[in-house]
Amino acid sequence: MTRTWPISTVTEAARARIATARLAAACGVPARERARLATALSAHLRQCLTKGGTWLLTLETTAAPDGEALLTAEVSPPAGTGAVPPWRTSVGCPEAPDTAPGDTVAADPDFLAEALLGADEDTALVLAELAVQEELVAFHREELHQTNQGVLALHAELDAAGRAQREAFAAEHAARKEAESARRRLTFLADASAALTSSLNHGEIVRLLPELLVPEYAGSVDVWLFDGDDKRHPSPRPAAAVRAARTGRPQYAADHPGGLPGVDDHPPSAPDPGRPLLCVPLPTHRTPLGVLTLTPPGGSWDPDDAVMLIELTRRASIAIDNARRFEHSRDIAETLQRALLTDLPTTPGLHLAARYMPATHGLNIGGDWYDAFRQPDGSLITVIGDVTGHGLHAAVMMSQLRTALRAYAVDGGSPGQLLTRLHVFLHHLQPDLYATAVIARFHPEDPTLTWAAAGHPPPVLRTPDGRVRTLDAKPGAMLGIPLRQEIADHTVRLSPGSTLALYTDGLVERRAQGIDPGIRRLAGALGSFRSAELDEDLDGSADRLLHPLLSDSERDDDVCLLLCHIHSGATKPAPAPAAAASF
């Protein structure tokens, strides 16, 4: 179905628009599409009228391939306008009109008013749909606004969470760094304390302090000991060091407060005002030993480092004080023990050589002792013994045993009887102290050796043919134990060229091996000598005997050795032996 309208005036254009709207309504075109069609047609016809001429509107309904009809509006230009293309638009027609609307539109007012109201109804429907859409838009706009607000709030929360996480990471990093610094300080303090307390020489401890602290914790270290030799420090001491010595409190001398815990601030040092000083007293339970003066490795000290340095100074003070006490006790005991070393007597046909060596590790003065003296009947008593313990007390007890033995020997008596009397003497004198000893008696007119032992390593005898045997007949128990005992004598025949070795356990005993391997080494070393060598130089032989047995430089116990050698030509006087040697 096709309808055509020529249009050259506004009235014709309005009637064509009304006809188009009526046809679209008859075809069931929805109001919104119908209004869009009429509005578009009106706008185009208005443009056409401005150009002038007669334009031709064609409305045509055609069937679409999917079964739905199309309403097509086409406006053709006037004839002779050249290559102006026609304007065309189409809308779908849901239903075919039952009756075709008229080709013409009445010009009476009622019809036009009705057409105008019909157009307004379409417009109202479009506006109603527009209002609905506007409400939807407003709803979605509000929904979008709320969503945006939520997103902004979420972003704010995420940002706050990010800041909190960064702060937590920073706090964790700082805590780890502080923990690592604390671990480093504690490790250094433990290692430094072990190094300081491992020495019993106070001078070595003082020399060790700068090696431990420079350059990590101090730029320089000065140790001022009050009773030490101060000639090495010709310049006056800093005022802060003097104040630390007087008050017993650490002092920090600088041009600004140090803020160090437990440390008093002090004006800067006059000789060097630009260099901070930390002066820490070396405390003891009585009075300070001195003052440790430190300069910082950088510009200043960390407060925790200062606390650690004060604690290290306290431990160094204890180590120095202990070392001085040890050195004092050692000097007294060593002086006493060396004063008690015996000058060996001269006996025709019998050579004696003795060696005493203090321990090199620990408290190196013990109760090892030897002695040799004549009895009224002309026999020669040789003895070697060991009092339990170390230090001044052991040295004093050793001297008392030595004196008691000489006193008992004046009354005569065999080695076993003398040891028995020493056992009773020691038990009553010092019930909690014990001793071991071996006594051997030589008689110039008798080739028989009489000996007795009390808890001591057995004597070793070298015969003239170079064979060595251990005199391990049943010994008595240790001297001083709460036990009644009668210590027996033992005898062995001696020939010219024989050598008897008396010794203490420090010569043969090692912690990891025990005592038996050491005795076998001693026997082997003694058997390696020739009789002529022992005749000519017994003192040199004693040194050569000790060397392989004491090859290790560290000894935990004293060493005492007494060699008794019967000259191979015993019928003629033997040369006088050298005095007892010790080193």
Those residues with Cβ within 8 angstroms of residue 267's Cβ, 6 or more apart along the chain or in another chain: 239, 253, 255
18 close to 120: Cβ distance less than 8 angstroms: no
- Residues 19-40 have a mean pLDDT of 85
Predicted structure pTM score? 0.53
87 close to 75: Cβ distance less than 8 angstroms: yes
305 close to 189: Cβ distance less than 8 angstroms: no
What is the CATH number assigned to the segment(s) 341-582?
Answer: 3.60.40.10
pLDDT tens sequence across 198-243: 888 888 999 999 999 998 889 999 999 987 554 455 567 889 999 9
**Count of other CB atoms within 10 angstroms of residue 27:** 22
Residue 581 confidence (pLDDT):
37
Residue 578 confidence (pLDDT):
38
150 close to 57: Cβ distance less than 8 angstroms: no
58 close to 2: Cβ distance less than 8 angstroms: yes
What's the pLDDT band for 399 if we cut at 50, 70, 90?
confident
In 3D, which of 353, 371, 351 has the Cα closest to residue 565?
A: 351
- d(C-alpha 572, C-alpha 411), whole Å: 30
Q: Does 490 or 83 have the greater pLDDT score?
A: 490
DSSP helix/strand/coil, 445: coil
Question: Does residue 356 carry a pLDDT above 90?
Answer: no
- d(C-alpha 207, C-alpha 222), whole Å: 10
Question: Does residue 491 carry a pLDDT above 90?
Answer: yes
447 close to 495: Cβ distance less than 8 angstroms: yes
Cis peptide before 215 (omega within 30 of 0): yes
Which region among 10-24, 94-108, 544-558 has the lowest average model confidence (pLDDT)? Answer: 94-108
- Residues 117-135 have a mean pLDDT of 78
- d(C-alpha 316, C-alpha 283), whole Å: 9
199 exposed, middle or buried (CB, 10 Å; 0-12, 13-18, 19+)? middle
Question: Does residue 363 carry a pLDDT above 60?
Answer: no
Domain covering 202-334: architecture: 2-Layer Sandwich (3.30)
Q: Does 469 or 236 have the greater pLDDT score?
A: 469
pLDDT tens sequence across 411-436: 889 999 999 999 999 988 888 889 99
Question: Does residue 382 carry a pLDDT above 90?
Answer: yes
Q: Hey, which residues does 2 pair with through a beta bridge? A: 60
- Residues 477-489 have a mean pLDDT of 93
Residue 249 confidence (pLDDT):
92
- d(C-alpha 573, C-alpha 571), whole Å: 7
Domain ranges of the chain: 2-105, 202-334, 341-582
DSSP helix/strand/coil, 6: strand
What's the pLDDT band for 97 if we cut at 50, 70, 90?
low
| DSSP 8-state class, residue 272 | -
Question: Does residue 349 carry a pLDDT above 90?
Answer: no
DSSP helix/strand/coil, 220: strand
Q: Hey, which residues does 477 pair with through a beta bridge? A: none
Q: Does 445 or 316 have the greater pLDDT score?
A: 316
In 3D, which of 567, 573, 576 has the Cα closest to residue 495?
A: 567
Q: Which residue has the tokens 């071991």?
A: 436
In 3D, which of 290, 370, 352, 310 has the Cα closest to residue 558?
A: 370
**Alpha helix locations (H) across 377-515?**
392-410, 415-429, 505-508
For residue 536, what are its two tokens? 């000519």
- d(C-alpha 217, C-alpha 297), whole Å: 6
Q: Hey, which residues does 354 pair with through a beta bridge? A: 562
319 close to 280: Cβ distance less than 8 angstroms: no
Residue 231 confidence (pLDDT):
45
| Adjacency order of strands within the sheet including 220-225 | 220-225, 290-295, 277-282, 251-253, 264-266
55 close to 48: Cβ distance less than 8 angstroms: yes
Q: Does 181 or 67 have the greater pLDDT score?
A: 181
Residue 464 confidence (pLDDT):
93
- d(C-alpha 546, C-alpha 562), whole Å: 11
- Please report, rounded to a whole number, the percentage of residues in the chain having pLDDT higher than 90: 37
